Copies of this chain bind each other. A is one copy, B any other.
Amino acid sequence: MEQKEKIKGRTEIATLGEFGLIDHLMADVTPQNKSTLIGVGDDAAAVAAGQKEAVVWSTDQLLEGIDFDLTYFPLRHLGYKAVTVGVSDILAMNARPEQLMLSIGVSSKISVEALDDLYAGVKFACRELEVDFVGGDTKPSVTGLTLHVTVLGRSERKKIVRRNGAKLNDLICITGNLGAAYMGLHLLEREKRVLQGIDNPEPQFAGYEYLLEKYLKPRARKDIIDALDEEGIIPTAMIDLSDGLSSDLMQLCKASKCGARIYLERIPIAKQTSAMAEELHADPVVAALQGGEDHELLFTVPLAMQEKIMGLGLVDVIGHITADSTGCFLVTPDGSDIRLKAQGFVESEEC
């Protein structure tokens, strides 16, 4: 292998990016078993369960130093968040989460009491979401704390919503508001920097509690799946907002082979998000587009459902689906079109 690398040269993973890497690694993989209903390329996979149902299945990892910093992330919240991260992928398929496994790699700095806290958060979230916690794997780690959450959900096959069903003129809907988790993270990082080396640090969070909660303890939007079901609404496409609106919308459009236009002034941003952005001399729209970890849902419905979807009172319509060749654009209040890129927007095109 070493020799092969020297001959072929070395390609850094960064040159492909996360999505490019998955495309590259999974390019030659095709499911063969008839029980495999959905393979690579969605928020979750799905396998047959009887004639009419499907078991929907997702897996996520949370790694110390990448996804969380234990200097300020309470383990109880981390456990709660791990459940949200896993469950959100199941919800994004319009399925109901039912079982969860958590595997952890535990470094020696973690005590049994600390793990009790982590598990208390997992159990609390599972109870809230009516998910059975059915085990997992525990082993020592020399590489920091690692969490791995896998979730099984269930849905009638005909109600499963994938990323690839958005159609021309469909409305683009999002739940909650965006950018708050990203601003919560920035706030925590700022206080960590400012208070480094101080004996009894007193971080300044007053007025920004909502941002901390959105980052440390985001709630999975099971209420949305319930509300859609009650109203008999099946979205045409759906995705969990985990990588930022821009990146996730582009994933949905790529899968659905379509374009999109979203309107800047319609993107819901919480007051605390705007206030924090101002304090940090940052743009709250950038936080919404690029920030990620919102764990809200982005979905599309036919134009004819506008009234019904607005009637839920839980959703903002931020734009609509366009033809494939047009690309994905953010429309600013002055009428400019800005082309979205996976890591936010960079290229400006006047109308």
Q: How many copies does the complex hold?
A: 2
Query: Are A111 and B12 also in contact (CB < 8 A) when A31-B132, A74-B1, A130-B33 are?
Result: yes
CB distance from A60 to the nearest CB of B (A): 6
Cα A283 to Cα B110 with chains together (Å): 35
When distances are taken between beta carbons in the complex, the residues of chain B under 8 Å from A36 are 98-99, 132, 134
Query: Are A101 and B61 also in contact (CB < 8 A) when A28-B123, A130-B32, A139-B18 are?
Result: no
Among B15, B39, B139, B150, the residue within 8 A (CB) of A66 is B139
Pair B21/A66 contact, Cβ less than 8 Å: no
Pair B47/A137 contact, Cβ less than 8 Å: no
Among B49, B76, B105, B113, the residue within 8 A (CB) of A48 is B49
Q: Mark A47-86, 1 if CB is under 8 A from B, else 0.
A: 1111101010101110111110000001110000000000
When distances are taken between beta carbons in the complex, the residues of chain B under 8 Å from A141 are 63, 65-66, 143
Q: Which residue of chain B has the shortest Cβ distance to A133 in the bound complex?
A: B29
Chain A interface residue number, banded: 35 or more
When distances are taken between beta carbons in the complex, the residues of chain B under 8 Å from A113 are 4-5, 8-11
Pair B116/A25 contact, Cβ less than 8 Å: yes
Q: Mark A103-117, 1 if CB is under 8 A from B, else 0.
A: 101101011111111
When distances are taken between beta carbons in the complex, the residues of chain B under 8 Å from A41 are 135
Cα A16 to Cα B115 with chains together (Å): 12
Query: Are A103 and B61 also in contact (CB < 8 A) when A35-B154, A76-B1, A138-B22 are?
Result: yes
Cα A14 to Cα B76 with chains together (Å): 21
When distances are taken between beta carbons in the complex, the residues of chain B under 8 Å from A60 are 103, 137
A268 at interface (Cβ–Cβ under 8 A)?
no
A13 at interface (Cβ–Cβ under 8 A)?
yes
Which residues of A120-166 are within 8 A (CB) of B? 123, 130-144, 146, 148, 150, 152, 154
Cα A136 to Cα B130 with chains together (Å): 24
A26 at interface (Cβ–Cβ under 8 A)?
yes
Pair B32/A132 contact, Cβ less than 8 Å: yes
When distances are taken between beta carbons in the complex, the residues of chain B under 8 Å from A53 are 49-50
Cα A344 to Cα B130 with chains together (Å): 40
A287 at interface (Cβ–Cβ under 8 A)?
no
Among B1, B5, B49, B146, the residue within 8 A (CB) of A143 is B146
The residues of A with any CB-CB pair to B shorter than 8 Å are 1, 4-5, 8-13, 15-16, 18, 21-22, 24-26, 28-29, 31-33, 35-36, 38-41, 45, 47-51, 53, 55, 57, 59-61, 63-67, 74-76, 98-99, 101, 103, 105-106, 108, 110-117, 119, 123, 130-144, 146, 148, 150, 152, 154
- What 5 pairs across the A-B complex have the smallest Cβ distances? A50-B50, A143-B143, A49-B49, A11-B112, A143-B144
8 residue pairs of the A-B complex, CB under 8 angstroms, read A50-B50, A59-B103, A59-B137, A60-B103, A64-B143, A65-B142, A67-B139, A105-B146
